[in-house]
């Protein structure tokens, strides 16, 4: 989440990722370098060297402009940049809430999802994330269908998580055309996954979803709403800016692969 990159911990942590390992049949670890962390580039590189996993997914602030070059020169792993992630946020604290927009928005209806929506969430996420550009797709060792299934699993597990919120988007005929999965951390919320079926895109559904979420979450006492995507996802980023989101920071994602 947003706070993973803004709250510097005392020590950089290499974390095993059993979910990724099971999905891709590789040993996988992750390491996030928060903004403002005191570790030098050399310390980050040394941590990477010690990682014994077949795949290490490293994320670090883009203002560490020399880190990628230093990694490439000093690492015995195959290394490549997989994406640049951008984080945006919106201040909800001073937002005036329109009670009508928390129920309907023109041609779209919004409701909290429950267990009975599992099959629909599965279908929607399969279609929405089929060709979604992400750091996994930069890695030729990872199968595309496994990558897509990872997003499907994320959406379905999130639906069952009582600490998260899944919202369904329906059209006038009650057809389910999109969804959003929201996680919470105190008075901060983050849209982890969201999307609209391709057949319903370009009709205002996504902007209406962002507007509805902003109002609903403000009513719940959320002060800040965050969201992230890859920098090349320009259409979505433009929608965020129109909806009042502002750029907070950017992160490079690097994959380090061991030959074995």
- Looking at per-residue pLDDT, the higher value among 105 and 136 belongs to 136
Q: What is the mean pLDDT of the chain?
A: 92
- Tell me the per-residue pLDDT of 118-147, one tens digit each, with 9 for 90 and over: 999 999 999 999 999 999 999 999 999 999
Answer yes or no: do 245 and 197 share one domain: yes
Domain containing 191 equals: 90-249
* pTM for the model: 0.92
- Tell me the per-residue pLDDT of 210-259, one tens digit each, with 9 for 90 and over: 999 999 999 999 999 999 999 999 999 999 999 999 999 999 999 999 87
Q: What are the distances in angstroms from CA 47 to CA 5, 12, 110?
A: 17, 8, 45
Answer yes or no: do 131 and 150 share one domain: yes
Answer yes or no: do 63 and 168 share one domain: no
Answer yes or no: do 69 and 137 share one domain: no
Answer yes or no: do 81 and 94 share one domain: no
CATH number of residue 216's parent domain: 3.40.630.30
Answer yes or no: do 75 and 163 share one domain: no
Answer yes or no: do 196 and 137 share one domain: yes
Residue 99 has pLDDT above 80, yes or no: no
Answer yes or no: do 36 and 110 share one domain: no
**Angle at CA 225, nearest 5°, toward 222 and 226?**
145
Residue 67 has pLDDT above 70, yes or no: yes
């Amino acid at each position: 989440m947003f706070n993973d990159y803004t709250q510097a911990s005392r020590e950089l942590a290499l974390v095993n990722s059993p979910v990724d390992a099971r999905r891709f049949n590789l040993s996988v670890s992750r390491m996030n370098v928060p903004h403002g962390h005191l570790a030098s580039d050399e310390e980050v590189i040394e941590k990477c060297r010690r990682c014994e996993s077949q795949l290490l997914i490293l994320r670090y602030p883009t203002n560490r402009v020399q880190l990628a070059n230093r990694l490439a020169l000093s690492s015995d792993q195959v290394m490549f940049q997989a994406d640049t992630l951008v984080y945006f946020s919106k201040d909800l604290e001073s937002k005036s809430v329109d009670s009508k927009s928390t129920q309907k928005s023109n041609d779209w209806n919004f409701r909290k999802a429950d267990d009975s929506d599992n099959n629909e969430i599965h279908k929607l996420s399969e279609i929405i994330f089929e060709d979604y550009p992400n750091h996994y797709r930069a890695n030729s060792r990872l199968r595309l269908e496994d990558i897509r299934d990872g997003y499907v699993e994320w959406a379905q597990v999130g639906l069952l998580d009582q600490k998260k919120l899944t919202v369904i988007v329906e059209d006038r005929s009650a057809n389910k055309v999109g969804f959003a999965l929201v996680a919470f951390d105190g008075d901060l919320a983050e849209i982890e996954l969201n999307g609209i079926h391709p057949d319903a895109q370009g009709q205002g559904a996504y902007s209406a979803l962002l507007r509805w979420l902003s109002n609903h979450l403000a009513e719940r006492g959320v002060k800040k709403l965050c969201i992230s995507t890859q920098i090349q996802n320009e259409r979505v980023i433009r929608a965020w800016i129109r909806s009042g989101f502002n750029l907070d920071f950017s992160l490079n994602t690097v994959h380090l692969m061991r030959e074995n």
